[in-house]
């Protein structure tokens, strides 16, 4: 047996898990099935509010350590998202390492489902980047703690509908706070990314009377929008969009959209979009506030999707899930009010409210049930 010495990267991951303020995870499970090639990480950040709920990401990470780190960060984010969505679920996330276009197989997904099932319901999985409804149908054959399945298999199907609806509710709350009315009528809204979620958001904005300008790296996605709505205009890139005259900027594509350069260039006075992890680094939220730009925390406003898949566990009812997603309006307003009262950016206020709900749940839980 050869001597294996920890690398700096591994030590960094373990530091995050055990010793940093970003840690505090309850459990991390490393999964391997050599026969199918499965390598996966399942991270449970908190079950204070109930079973951890979060999607499975299938992605070709640069290293195993990067995969673990991503799982830890994503799981923590789900704890906060589920807490502020008012769900009786904690936060968890899983990542499968590899290119889904080349290594994904039915047998690999079944093997993964067995690992999730071995947690006995402490983790409920769903779709994320690189996984789809049909994948959840396969995983569900080995694991009953699977959501995001097809309607034919008792599921809710595509969650992007309520994700977009929730973002729209958050945007209405931002409009109420910034301009005194909960409507985007007459406002110019720039949507960066008009894929699964973005194109539904455009529909809500047009119905509400907004002027919409879009961009996407895929020309066909833009063409689909402009063909359906000739009054929607487009620009070549997100960089052009943020510099265009806007009232609202809606990042709906990749994370990290709000960085030092973007914030300095923004003309919009509201940022509210569907993308996860929009803040490129700590401090961006303060830079936005210092410029008078109202930021609607991404994990608050994009919670419609997780609300939908959580409802599936009780026998999916679209109207019930939509009513829950409508509450994102009131939650976002409460965050803006808390931020103003405490003199802090909305992102910090959202974190405080989520941490308060989790702490109260831990305190209220009878001894022996946590």
Q: What is the pLDDT of residues 35-83, one digit of tens each?
A: 999 999 999 999 999 999 999 999 999 999 999 989 998 899 999 999 9
Closest CA to 56 of 121, 139, 120, 153: 139
Q: Which carries the bigger pLDDT value, residue 267 or residue 2?
A: 267
Q: At what angle do helices 346-364 and 328-342 cross, to 10 degrees?
A: 110
* Distance separating alpha carbons of residues 357 and 291, to the nearest angstrom: 30
pLDDT band at 332 (very low <50, low <70, confident <90, very high): very high
Question: Judging by beta carbons within 10 Å of its beta carbon (0-12, 13-18, 19+), is residue 4 exposed, middle or buried?
Answer: exposed
- The helix/strand/coil state of 160 is helix
pLDDT score of 129 more than 90: no
What is the value of pTM for the model shown?
A: 0.87
Q: What is the pLDDT of residue 365?
A: 61
* Distance separating alpha carbons of residues 143 and 327, to the nearest angstrom: 31
pLDDT score of 13 more than 90: no
Closest CA to 101 of 59, 145, 140, 38: 59
pLDDT score of 5 more than 70: no
pLDDT band at 277 (very low <50, low <70, confident <90, very high): confident
Q: What is the pLDDT of residue 1?
A: 41
Q: What is the pLDDT of residue 367?
A: 45
Question: Judging by beta carbons within 10 Å of its beta carbon (0-12, 13-18, 19+), is residue 315 exposed, middle or buried?
Answer: exposed
pLDDT band at 4 (very low <50, low <70, confident <90, very high): very low
As annotated, the active-site residues are 93
Question: Judging by beta carbons within 10 Å of its beta carbon (0-12, 13-18, 19+), is residue 19 exposed, middle or buried?
Answer: exposed
Q: Which two tokens stand for residue 355?
A: 């941490």
> Helix and strand tally (H, E) in the chain?
16, 12
pLDDT score of 368 more than 70: no
Q: What is the pLDDT of residue 112?
A: 98
Contact 277, 336 (CB under 8 A): no
* Distance separating alpha carbons of residues 87 and 318, to the nearest angstrom: 16
């Amino acid at each position: 047996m050869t001597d294996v010495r920890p690398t700096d990267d591994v030590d960094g991951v373990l530091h995050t898990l055990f010793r940093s303020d970003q840690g505090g995870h309850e459990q991390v499970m490393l999964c391997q099935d050599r026969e199918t090639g499965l390598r996966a990480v399942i991270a449970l950040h908190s079950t204070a509010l109930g079973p951890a709920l979060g999607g499975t990401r299938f992605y070709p990470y640069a290293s195993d350590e990067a995969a673990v780190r991503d799982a830890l960060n994503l799981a923590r984010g789900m704890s906060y998202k589920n807490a502020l969505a008012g769900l009786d679920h904690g936060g968890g996330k899983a990542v499968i390492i590899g290119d889904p276009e080349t290594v994904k197989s039915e047998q690999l997904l079944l093997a993964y489902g067995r690992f999730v099932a071995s947690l006995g319901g402490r983790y409920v999985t769903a779709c994320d980047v690189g996984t789809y409804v049909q994948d959840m149908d396969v995983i569900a054959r080995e694991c009953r703690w699977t959501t995001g399945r097809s309607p034919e298999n008792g599921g809710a199907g595509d969650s992007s509908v309520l994700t977009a609806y929730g973002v729209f509710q958050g945007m209405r709350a931002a409009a109420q706070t910034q301009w005194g009315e909960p409507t985007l009528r007459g406002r110019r809204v720039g949507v960066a990314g008009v894929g699964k979620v973005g194109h539904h958001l455009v529909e809500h904005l047009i119905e509400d009377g907004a002027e919409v300008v879009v961009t996407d790296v895929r020309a066909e996605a833009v063409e689909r929008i402009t063909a359906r709505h000739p009054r929607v205009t487009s620009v070549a890139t997100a960089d052009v969009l943020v510099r265009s005259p806007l009232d609202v900027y809606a990042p709906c594509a990749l994370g990290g959209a709000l960085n030092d350069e973007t914030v300095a260039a923004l003309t919009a006075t509201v940022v509210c979009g569907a993308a996860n992890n929009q803040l490129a680094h700590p401090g961006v939220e303060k830079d936005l506030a210092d410029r008078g730009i109202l930021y609607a925390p991404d994990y608050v406003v994009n919670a419609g999707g997780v609300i939908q898949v959580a409802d599936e566990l009780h026998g999916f009812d679209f109207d019930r899930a939509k009513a829950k997603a409508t509450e994102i309006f009131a939650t976002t307003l409460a965050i803006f009010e808390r931020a103003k009262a405490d003199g802090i950016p909305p992102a910090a206020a959202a974190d405080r409210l989520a941490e308060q709900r989790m702490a109260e749940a831990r305190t209220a839980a009878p001894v022996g049930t946590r």
